Amino acid sequence: MRFAPLLVLIAVAGGGCAPLSFGSGAPALARSIRGADSEAPSAAARARFPVGSSETRMLAELKRERFVLGPSEAGRFRTAAASWRDLPCLYTYSLRWRADEQGAIAEISATFTDACT
């Protein structure tokens, strides 16, 4: 029998949600996800790297957090992903973005997946 992981969210004053709880292997960006809805990963990415901010700065931060960067082609969407284990689960936080000609983030979104056995 398989059981899905139980995510416990704690509401705090003002109606917000506490961050999801991960082990120490999770990148800081993933630890900033608030809530379990499908928009939460993108909201965390946009809060950390808002539209108009520097792609170069974002890339440096992603590398420090051990994200693996996808290929780079001018005018195309780029990707980066970080995966970590917190037994019995494997988590992946993936970013997808596009920068303009000046090197500013023009669009950014993110997804979060888990595979638990």
pLDDT digits (tens, 9 = 90+) for 2-32: 433 333 222 222 334 444 555 567 888 888 7
E strands of the chain, at which residues?
A: 68-69, 78-86, 89-99, 105-116
Encode pLDDT of 78-113 as tens digits: 999 999 888 888 889 999 999 999 999 999 999 988
Smallest CA-to-CA distance from 67 within 48, 56, 57, 81 is with: 81
Q: Are strands 68-69 and 105-116 parallel, antiparallel or unpaired?
A: unpaired
Q: What is the pLDDT of residue 8?
A: 29
Question: Quick one: pLDDT at residue 32?
Answer: 79
Residue 103 DSSP class: S
* Mean pLDDT calculated for residue range 52-70: 96
